[in-house]
Structure 1
Amino acid sequence: MKQGQLARRVSKIAPFQVMAVLDKAKQLQANGYDVIHLEVGEPDFVAPSAVSEAGVQAIRQAQTGYTSATGLPELKQAISRYYHSRYKVSVAPERIIVTPGASGALLLMASLMVNEGEEVIMPDPCYPCNRHFLLQAGGRAKLIETSPDNEFKIDLDGLAQYWSATTAGLWLASPANPTGAVLSRAYVEQAWQAVKDLGGHLLVDEIYQGLVYDGDDFTALSVDDNLFVINSFSKYFAMTGWRLGWIVVPEWAIEGAIKLAQNLFICAPAMSQYAALHAFDEGVLTECEARRERLNQRRLALLKGLERIGLPVVTPAQGAFYVFVDVSSVTSDAMTWCLQLLEQEYVALTPGADFGIANAHQYVRFAYTCEEERLVEAIARIERFMQS
């Protein structure tokens, strides 16, 4: 490598197209325009007060040093109890690795289970960073085109045709970003059986767990102890900037996961871990459930508004806080459409190209992460834009 030259892998990592939208939105706001942000994958709630106060107390009491690489024992025990109380699943605390956000968990997972040159199957569309974490580990993503007819889920009956000698596993998400689709228990069971028969691993990303409005809010850990699950305090608990997540690994993977956690992260932020101990307090969980209901009301309002103006929602949007919309009836280029909408009506959306390749030009993601009246106003602006 020559001086001043970046590693080749950097050129393979695509920037987020939504950043062009976000930069333009910030510029418009700085110039005094009222921008409605429906592009941000972050709830407009702050961390529950009991959690924030616990974080403040941790700093005041100098609980800011290194913790165990796998997380505070008492936090791992609290997560284990949460799985048992909410989902009736027994998860040994030793199987839980606390990480700096779910991103840390995904990076650990890629390093743990993917060899140089191997591939991981995942649906198109999906969370874009997944394929970039695989690149960092020397692997690659194999995106399988999916259809709104099947709620953007991979047809598991045909999984074997996509599998090759270099396939390491299958990564899924429920609820999913960008579609809001929720996997059924039967689907996860079928996925696990198929992957097991093919000799690979299965990861289910559950970082939006708890934010399910229609369907079964279960954990894939109830299917088998030998699959992997990732979760986070960011979404349901509204702790995005605290950077705290976790991964649950099978017993046979614990030692390897510990070695990677030690070397990749040292530990997750200590004050965030002490704060998260209170995320499972009864009052905090009650508050989180009330917020979930508010998000559901927003979801229903957005779905109603989109139907009224003739923009079809292509999946049931059962969970998370996203709606994936087909805009092919009004444009052949979703990215250009998003930029023009922002410039003319000051509504910021995420173009589908950030989430995949197949037919990405015809989709847009809406995030219902603002108050209901702002969603209603956004629909009115979009309708005006479509009529102009």
Structure 2
Amino acid sequence: MKLAKRVAQITPSKTLAITAKAKELRSEGYDVVGLGAGEPDFNTPQHIIDAAVKAMKEGQTKYTAAAGIPELKKAICEKLQRDNNITYKPSQIVVCNGAKHALYNLFQAIVDPGDEIIVPIPYWVSYPEMITLADGVPVFVEGSEENEFKITPEQLRAAITDKTRAVIINSPSNPTGSVYTREELEGLAQVCIEKQILMVSDEIYEKLIYDGQEHVSIASLSPEAYELTVVINGMSKPYSMTGWRIGYAAGNEALIKAMTNLSSHSTSNPTTFAQYGALAALEGSQESLEMMKAEFDKRRKAVVKLMNDIEGIHCVEPKGAFYLFANVSEAMKKGGYSDVDEWAQALLEKEYVALIPGSGFGAPNHIRISYATSLEQLEKGIARIKKFVEEN
């Protein structure tokens, strides 16, 4: 069967082989420790579940407006004002089927064939694919490990051409957990304002920040930055609502209208009762979020120490999200492995630990470990990693 060229351009996931092998080993009865989860290991808070159930019982099971119910858009505006000091009107908000859907629609709305989007390395795996599907060109800029994987204004300026449409800023970051400071964001914003390029601010992990770090939305820095920023956020990470698929975008009214039109011809609307759950998440108690964050912080500290105690592995302490991005280049070299994918595959087959190789994030010397799993599992998994490195 002949397939469209756009589908053929999509790069197969680097993690598919690891995931398939892990499932196969589990089915055969092996005790596989999974350290790759990209979602909290807590259930959705009960008051959010109750709100969705109530909505269904009251008949909220039909279509809504493509951009979301008015109550939720209003609550998002209030959240952005309260938490981020940014003022938006409901007409500047579109609710989507997850933050990923918001990003997809955004690139479809702003990218013409050949337009360039600057993507810092390491990057979330879907950024380049979404840009490519919009007939755009991802332009990669590598953040150094010495700078906690963050790019500098000088690097950004050097990457901008007359085809540059936007730059992606993901803070806190997946996969690194890095957090940009206010001063760092001001430097990046200054370049974008000077060059008049959009800033795509992916803030999905904003609530998961540690060590007294401050989350700053680049849109809040100045009126000029506000005009050039599209904020992407959602319910998945802070409220453990990954399966609910509720995200949103906030930005220029004309752009939001274009994204809404795309939704109207693709998904119609976000799941109706899930929107009422999201409303309860934003307006209700934040106690569960704080509990989850405290547990993640406890695991984070333990994992950093345990991983840095392994000879041949070192990692920067993450300041946000729930990922550790570890450099395993010395361990790979010692074991005679040609690349990180081969190293991760051998780790799974010999010690039954499944994690995500950094090649999928544009970082071939690294691995991503998620600490969105129990401390017991983390300790067991890292002990096996240590054994694997020492014996190879």
Per the normalisation by structure 1, the TM-score is: 0.94
Aligned match for 2:20, one of 13, 20, 23? 23
Letter in 2 for 1:384: K
1:378 aligns with 2:375: no
Counterpart position of 2:170: 173
The match for 2:346 among 340, 351, 372 is: 340
Write the mapping of 1:257-336 to structure 2, written as runs, cut at 5 A: 257-283=259-285, 285-310=286-311, 312-331=313-332, 332-336=338-342
Query: Which amino acid is 2:328 matched to?
Result: V
Identical positions, percent? 36
What residue number does 2:358 align with? Answer: 352
Report the residue type matching 2:377 in the other structure. Answer: R
Deviation at 1:250, TM superposition (A): 2.1
2:205–2:320 contact (8 Å) kept in structure 1: yes
Partner of residue 215, structure 2 = 217
Contact 2:22 2:348 in 1 (8 A): yes
| Aligned-partner residue type, residue 190 of structure 2 | Q
Kindly indicate whether the alpha-carbon contact (under 8 Å) linking 1:174 and 1:206 is maintained by their aligned counterparts in 2: yes
Q: Are 2:189 and 2:218, in contact at CA under 8 Å, matched by a contact in 1? A: no
Aligned equivalents of 1:267, 1:187: Cα separation in 2: 37
| Inter-CA distance 313–77: structure 2 relative to 1 (3 Å threshold) | farther
| AA of the residue aligned to 1:379 | I
Deviates further, 258-267 or 321-330: 258-267
**Which residue among 157, 180, 183 is the counterpart of 2:180?**
183
AA aligned to 2:35 is L
What is the aligned partner in structure 2 of residue 7 from structure 1?
4
Aligned partner (choices 38, 41, 44) of residue 38 of structure 2: 41
Q: Secondary structure at the match of 1:278?
A: helix
> Partner residue of 1:139?
136
Stretch of structure 1 that moved more, 101-110 or 216-225: 216-225
The equivalent residue for 2:230 is 228
CA positional deviation for 1:297: 0.5
Three-state SS of the structure 1 residue aligned to 2:260 is helix
Residue segments in structure 1 that go unaligned for 5+ positions in a row:
none
CA distance in 1, matches of 2:51, 2:191: 44
Residue type of the alignment partner of 1:248: A
The aligned amino acid for 1:307 is N
Amino acid aligned to 1:353: S
Provide the C-alpha distance between the structure 1 equivalents of 2:100 and 2:368, rounded to a whole number of angstroms.
21
- Structure 2 unaligned blocks of 5 or more: 333-337
One-letter code aligned to 2:264 = Q
| Cα-to-partner distance string for 1:3-31 (whole Å, 9 max, x where unaligned) | x1111122221121112111111111111
Residues 258-267 or 187-196, more deviating: 258-267
Q: Distance in 2 between matches of 1:252 and 1:191?
A: 24
Q: Deviations over 1:288-324 (max 9, x none)?
A: 1110110010111100101222354443311111111
Query: Which residue number corresponds to residue 366 of structure 1?
Result: 369
CA drift at 1:252: 4.5
Counterpart among 84, 87, 91 of residue 84 in structure 2: 87
The more displaced of 315-324 and 186-195 is 186-195
| Letter in structure 2 aligned against 1:372 | L
Cα distance, 1:199 vs structure 2: 2.2
Task: Please list the CA deviations of residues 170-198 of structure 1 after superposition, one character each: whole Å capped at 9, or x if unmatched.
Answer: 11100111111011122222212211211
Secondary structure, in 3 states, of the residue corresponding to 1:304?
helix
Aligned equivalent of 2:57 = 60
Q: Distance in 2 between the 1:158 and 1:381 partners?
A: 38
Worse-superposed segment, 189-198 or 171-180? 189-198
1:111 matched residue in structure 2: 108
Counterpart of 1:71 (choices 57, 68, 72) is: 68
Instruction: Indicate conservation of the 8 Å contact 2:311/2:331, yes or no.
Output: no
Distance 1:72 1:282 in 2: 17
Mapped partners of 1:365, 1:33: distance in 2: 22
Query: Any conservation in 2 of the 1:313–1:324 contact (CA below 8 Å)?
Result: no
Cα distance change on mapping 1:79 and 1:313 into 2, 3 Å:
farther
Q: Deviations over 1:147-181 (max 9, x none)?
A: 10122122212323211121111111001111110
SS in 2 for 1:212: coil
Distance in 2 separating the partners of 1:308 and 1:321:
20
Displacement, 1:276? Answer: 1.0
Rounded to whole Å, the distance in 1 between the matches of 2:171 and 2:266 is: 26
The change in CA–CA distance for 1:181 and 1:13 in structure 2 (over 3 A counts) is: same
CA distance in 2, matches of 1:74, 1:90: 16
Instruction: Name the CA distance, whole Å, in 2 between partners of 1:155 and 1:88.
Output: 24
What value does the CA root-mean-square deviation take over the aligned residues?
1.6
The answer on whether the counterparts of 1:353 and 1:361 sit within 8 Å (CA) in structure 2 is: yes
Distance 1:315 1:248 in 2: 32
Matches of 2:95 and 2:87 in 1, distance apart?
Answer: 17
Cα deviation for residue 278 of structure 1 reads 0.7
